[in-house]
Amino acid sequence: MLALINKVLYTPPSYENCTMIGVPINAILLEFMQTENGRSFFSHPKVNQIFKDILNDYGKMLQSPHSLKYMNTDSPKGWFSVEAYEKVDYSLYKCDPSLPHYGFQCWNDWFLR
């Protein structure tokens, strides 16, 4: 689990056949958090503090320009790719295709719209 978290910690979310828009770290933690052992593990104060720090770092990455890596049309993993446009309702977003990254400053800027 920690190896997977380390891998996604500095990797912006990409669009790849998404059925929902979210961040990969949720998928890593979700199943474990839904077990009795997982709830016990995450309620331990030391574990809780460590994960708070990890999630704060992840949040900083999602607020940074680095998180715009997949805010493009020219990659199959891009959030503005042809495949993404077929599945995501972009009428909910205020974006400008003439601007770099459609005008978004970071992934959170787009996600939180």
Using CB atoms within 10 Å of the CB of residue 109, give its burial: 0 to 12 exposed, 13 to 18 middle, 19+ buried.
middle
How much of the chain, in percent, has pLDDT values that exceed 90?
34
Cβ atoms of 113 and 79 within 8 Å: the answer is no
Whole-number pLDDT of residue 111: 82
Boundaries of every domain in the chain: 24-62, 66-113
The phi and psi torsions of 79 (rounded to 5 degrees) equal -70, -10
Whole-number pLDDT of residue 65: 95
Global model pTM greater than 0.85: no
Q: Which two tokens stand for residue 60?
A: 């900083």
Whole-number pLDDT of residue 103: 92
pLDDT tens string 10-40: 888 888 766 566 678 888 888 888 899 998 9
Per DSSP, 44 falls in state: S
